[in-house]
Amino acid sequence: MRFSHLHELGALCVEESTTIGRLMIKEQVQETNTPEEEIFRQMSDYYEVMKEAVHRGQTQDTVSRSGLTGGDGKRLAEYLRAGETCSGDASALAMAYALSVSEVNASMGRIVATPTAGSCGVIPGVFISAQERFGWDDEHMVRGLFAAGAIGYVIANNSFISGAEGGCQAEIGSAIGMAAGAMVELRGGTPEQAIHAVGLALKNTLGLICDPVAGLVEIPCIVRNGLGAVTALAAADMALAGVRSAIPSDEVIDVMLEVGSAMPSKHRETAKGGLAQTPTGKRLTESLTRNIPAKKDKS
């Protein structure tokens, strides 16, 4: 890839009068020596999987393997259909879809890691609800996924994308940053605006710990996907309105690395802190452990 930072990505787009999504396709062709059609088809297949996951979560029961979660995506969509929402219909729908995809994930259904499975709801939530609302075709959406991928590529290589490494700021934060930037581009914003959206979004997730109850990608991960989709939409709106990230987005990514590295291990997906160690978190963990005993060897 010819870029490793967002400012380089932005400069390349300006130089070549192109979008982040189109540039990323070109870079991927060059990097992997694979024809553009094949790369585009691969991403289109992923988008289909995302749509299926939304559909499944909205139409079928998605009780997780542990039995702790399920059905909230449907609940939210019904609430949205029934009347006035607090956060606005677009936000509520993005949230409902994001919850659905995360619930399908928790039930061992098929999803796409974007960038991880724990954060797999944000991008489909934002993308598919926006597609329905604005009537975009699939090709437009797939190019948007490449834009999201370019942003994620920079975050992943300069900071982290997994909760185990950098806390939930890394996992859900990356997904939100990717969705925010891509949404700006889908709406016709400039690469510069898209990059500002990334910084604006990431600033709001800095410090977010990863504290899954019983170590499972369910509580609080599913709701964080839903709320993350709304944050992404809001950050995209700010950027499209001309709000700039006063701290350049690349520097925000560096801060994520700094904060995540300083985070105690109990707050990095170990289930030894945060919500996992609340009285209820401990009780739920205990009840699951009783149901599923694990063998312990002597080594």
Which spans of this chain sit near other proteins (rule: CB under 8 A)?
A: 1, 4, 24, 27-28, 31-33, 39, 42-43, 45-46, 49, 64-66, 104-118, 120, 123, 145-146, 148-150, 152-153, 156-157, 160-162, 164-165, 178, 214-218, 269-271, 288, 292, 294-297, 299
To other proteins, the closest distance from the beta carbon of 89 in angstroms equals 27
Pick between residue 66 and residue 231 the one whose CB is nearest to other proteins: 66
Question: Is residue 191 reached through a cis peptide bond, with omega within 30 degrees of 0 on the bond before it?
Answer: no
CA distance 167 to 171: 7
Pick between residue 33 and residue 86 the one whose CB is nearest to other proteins: 33
CA distance 12 to 150: 12
Torsion 202-205-208-211 (CA) sign: negative
CA 163 to chain centre: 12
To other proteins, the closest distance from the beta carbon of 88 in angstroms equals 27
Pick between residue 150 and residue 200 the one whose CB is nearest to other proteins: 150
Pick between residue 107 and residue 245 the one whose CB is nearest to other proteins: 107
Pick between residue 111 and residue 208 the one whose CB is nearest to other proteins: 111
Cβ(231)–Cβ(134) below 8 Å:
no
Instruction: Give DSSP secondary structure letters for 34-48.
Output: --HHHHHHHHHHHHH
To other proteins, the closest distance from the beta carbon of 37 in angstroms equals 15
Instruction: Give DSSP secondary structure letters for 37-88.
Output: HHHHHHHHHHHHHHHHHHHHHHHS----TTSS---HHHHHHHHHHHS--SS-
To other proteins, the closest distance from the beta carbon of 273 in angstroms equals 14
To other proteins, the closest distance from the beta carbon of 235 in angstroms equals 19
To other proteins, the closest distance from the beta carbon of 87 in angstroms equals 26
Nearest to 270 by CA among 213, 206, 188: 213
What tokens does 239 get? 């950027």
Cβ(12)–Cβ(19) below 8 Å:
no
Pick between residue 72 and residue 269 the one whose CB is nearest to other proteins: 269
Residue type, 251: E
What tokens does 185 get? 């581009």
To other proteins, the closest distance from the beta carbon of 220 in angstroms equals 14
Pick between residue 97 and residue 146 the one whose CB is nearest to other proteins: 146
